[in-house]
Amino acid sequence: WARTVRGLLLDVSGVLYDSGGDGGVPIAGSVEAVRRIKASGLKLQFCTNETQATREKFVKKLQGMGFDISVAEVTAPAPAACRILKERGLRPHLLVHDDLISEFAEIDKANPNCVVIGDAAENFTYANLNEAFRVLIGMEKPVLLSLGRGRYYKETDGLKLDVGAYMKALEYACDVQAEVVGKPSKKFFESALAEMGVPPQQAIMIGDDVVNDVGGAQRCGMRALQVRTGKYR
Amino acid sequence: WARTVRGLLLDVSGVLYDSGGDGGVPIAGSVEAVRRIKASGLKLQFCTNETQATREKFVKKLQGMGFDISVAEVTAPAPAACRILKERGLRPHLLVHDDLISEFAEIDKANPNCVVIGDAAENFTYANLNEAFRVLIGMEKPVLLSLGRGRYYKETDGLKLDVGAYMKALEYACDVQAEVVGKPSKKFFESALAEMGVPPQQAIMIGDDVVNDVGGAQRCGMRALQVRTGKYR
């Protein structure tokens, strides 16, 4: 079956680099691996749940580490969320990282009728969580969009709680179920495949998260590989 | 059946007073209600999930508002947790309110083999949550004790996320189920009833939380009343 493979989806954090306060460090061999994949003629799309920066900043950081990567090659949750917000006339209260806010520049945020939660990192303060909770519980029918549902990830200084943990806190407090934008949502993988122009049965997803990368891809009809870097334990 | 009633369990926050950064304010009529209950000859025990202060401080605050209350009349989660920790040889990493820490003064906390989470309020920082998570995920078999499982409560300046929301975040991140100490645990109600010396069928629980007060008490064979103050919406 390996001969039928025409495209790869690559997770980034934990696969190509370990993120961290210092910007992070590339994982040994990964810069060369991306170069070789591209040289081989295989199609390649980076499929990330990264929401600590705009795609532009994210790509710049990776280019700085030596990766051959461009913005158009990155499928990320924030642009996908913006499409959903526009389609459904949703005005978000944002609980996201400071560096992600500009992705939502075009979106009307007055008088919010939903909450969008991303990996807000240092913005996950007691005050900000209470504020997002109050906005949500104040709605007649609370709508919570979550940019991913990861449990945790590895940074250079250790494991960190990911957005999924905070999503669960709000879900429980408000008795709602979040809509997940990003991996492992089927729609998200499908849009990454569409960017490559490769059908699922001719693509492989490579990631370090057995649920969000491997499980999500398999449910879309892709094969998937789990690497032993990043959060792998 | 009302004639068979010999004892009352009273929730405190949201029933007798609304808590807040300023110490809180009594709910109209509640000081007088406690006085009348005691004058009637009914037995009375205060059954609270309050974990933002030691019982001593908590009682002093309520006395300052005019309530007739003493430490021995209060059943609270921290002393119950200390009994469990000692019985099972557990050494806790504490994620609790600063003012609760002295309740655990007698407990060995070196080289933790469990995490105890309470309503840590301002101590629910991103750093503290990550630290508790790392201690927990680093255990071969993670043990998480939660002082209550409330969703939220009302303070004078608005609704606040309660310990249950943060408990859910850690449960999800570590794929564990917390053991709840405090309401609605059956063991906790039973120890409050034992303090009064009244069997469940002769007692009524009065609270503002339909799950933790009313549901929990009913599962112990008590009758229960929900008041329309506090978090009632």
Q: Do A169 and B165 touch (CB under 8 A)?
A: yes
Q: Do B172 and A164 touch (CB under 8 A)?
A: yes
Q: Do B171 and A169 touch (CB under 8 A)?
A: no
pLDDT of residue B22: 80
From chain A residues 119-138, the ones with a CB under 8 A of any chain B CB are 121-122, 124-126, 129-130, 133-134, 137
Q: What is the pLDDT of residues B126-156, one digit of tens each?
A: 999 999 999 999 999 999 999 999 999 888 8
Task: Tell whether B172 and B116 lie within a shared domain.
Answer: yes
Q: What distance in Å separates residue B146's CA from the closest CA in chain A? A: 14
pLDDT of residue A81: 96
Q: What distance in Å separates residue B175's CA from the closest CA in chain A? A: 9
In chain B, what percentage of residues exceed pLDDT 90? 91
Strands A17-18 and A25-26: antiparallel
Q: Is B11 left (phi over 0), alpha (psi -120 to 50) or beta?
A: beta
Nearest CB partner across the interface for A172, out of B125, B137, B164: B164
Nearest CB partner across the interface for B151, out of A161, A166, A173: A173
Q: Do A124 and B121 touch (CB under 8 A)?
A: no
pLDDT of residue A165: 98
- Please check whether residue A51 is in contact with residue A76, taking contact to mean a CB–CB distance below 8 angstroms: yes
What is the domain-level CATH number for residue A210?
Answer: 3.40.50.1000
Task: Tell whether B11 and B42 lie within a shared domain.
Answer: yes
Task: Please report the beta strands in A59-182, taking only residues with DSSP state E, as ranges in sequence order.
Answer: 74-75, 92-95, 114-117, 144-147, 152-155, 158-161, 179-181
Query: For chains A and B, what is the number of CB pairs under 8 angstroms?
Result: 77
pLDDT of residue B33: 97
Task: Tell whether A148 and A221 lie within a shared domain.
Answer: no
Confidence of residue B64 (pLDDT cuts 50, 70, 90): very high
Task: Tell whether A38 and A104 lie within a shared domain.
Answer: no
DSSP state of B211: I
pLDDT of residue B2: 81
C-alpha–C-alpha distance, residues B199 and B15, integer Å:
23
Confidence of residue B161 (pLDDT cuts 50, 70, 90): very high
Task: Tell whether B155 and B103 lie within a shared domain.
Answer: yes
Confidence of residue B94 (pLDDT cuts 50, 70, 90): very high
Angle between helices B163-174 and B126-137 (to 10 degrees): 40
Nearest CA in chain B to A136: B159
User: Which residues lie closer than 8 Å to A136 by C-beta, 6 or more apart?
Assistant: A93, A115, A142, A144, A170, A173, A174, A176
pLDDT of residue B108: 97
Q: What distance in Å separates residue B90's CA from the closest CA in chain A? A: 24
Give the count of domains, chain A.
2
B72 in a structural domain: no
Domain boundary among B180, B197, B215: B180
A54 in a structural domain: no
A148 in a structural domain: yes
Q: What is the pLDDT of residues A56-108, one digit of tens each?
A: 999 999 999 999 999 999 999 999 999 999 999 999 999 999 999 999 999 99
C-alpha–C-alpha distance, residues A101 and A99, integer Å:
6
Task: Tell whether A100 and A121 lie within a shared domain.
Answer: yes
User: Which residues lie closer than 8 Å to B72 by C-beta, 6 or more apart?
Assistant: B195
Task: Tell whether B156 and B191 lie within a shared domain.
Answer: no
Q: What distance in Å separates residue A174's CA from the closest CA in chain B? A: 8
C-alpha–C-alpha distance, residues B100 and A39, integer Å:
61
Which of B144, B146, B161 is the best residue to mutate to test the A interface, defined by the most A CB atoms within 10 Å of its own CB?
A: B161
Give A-chain residues touching B133 at CB under 8 angstroms: 152, 159, 161, 165
Task: Tell whether A151 and A196 lie within a shared domain.
Answer: no
More confident residue, B114 or B158: B114
Task: Tell whether B44 and B106 lie within a shared domain.
Answer: no
Nearest CA in chain A to B162: A173
A58 in a structural domain: no
Q: 3-state DSSP call for residue B152?
A: strand
A77 in a structural domain: no
Task: Tell whether B162 and B203 lie within a shared domain.
Answer: no
Q: Do A172 and B165 touch (CB under 8 A)?
A: yes
Task: Tell whether B174 and B221 lie within a shared domain.
Answer: no
pLDDT mean over B59-78:
97
pLDDT of residue A2: 81
B36 in a structural domain: yes
Q: What distance in Å separates residue B100's CA from the closest CA in chain A? A: 18
Task: Tell whether B100 and B176 lie within a shared domain.
Answer: yes
Which helix (H) or strand (E) segment holds residue B165: the answer is helix B163-174
Q: What is the mean pLDDT of chain B?
A: 95
Q: Which residues of chain A have pLDDT under 70?
A: none
ipTM greater than 0.95, yes or no? no
Neighbours of A163 (CB within 10 A): 30
B201 in a structural domain: yes
More confident residue, B157 or A104: A104
For residue A217, the enclosing domain spans: 7-49+183-226
Q: Does residue A166 belong to the interface with chain B, where contact is any CB pair within 8 Å?
A: yes
Instruction: Give the CA distances from residue A50 to residues A13, A146, A162, B9, in Å, rounded to whole numbers and listed in that order.
Output: 8, 12, 10, 49
CA angle B201, B206, B211 (to 5 degrees): 95
Q: Do A151 and B173 touch (CB under 8 A)?
A: yes
B119 in a structural domain: yes
pLDDT of B10 higher than 90 = yes
Phi, psi of B131, deg, nearest 5 = -65, -45
pLDDT of residue B146: 97
Q: Tokens 């995490």 sit at which residue?
A: B115
pLDDT of B44 higher than 90 = yes
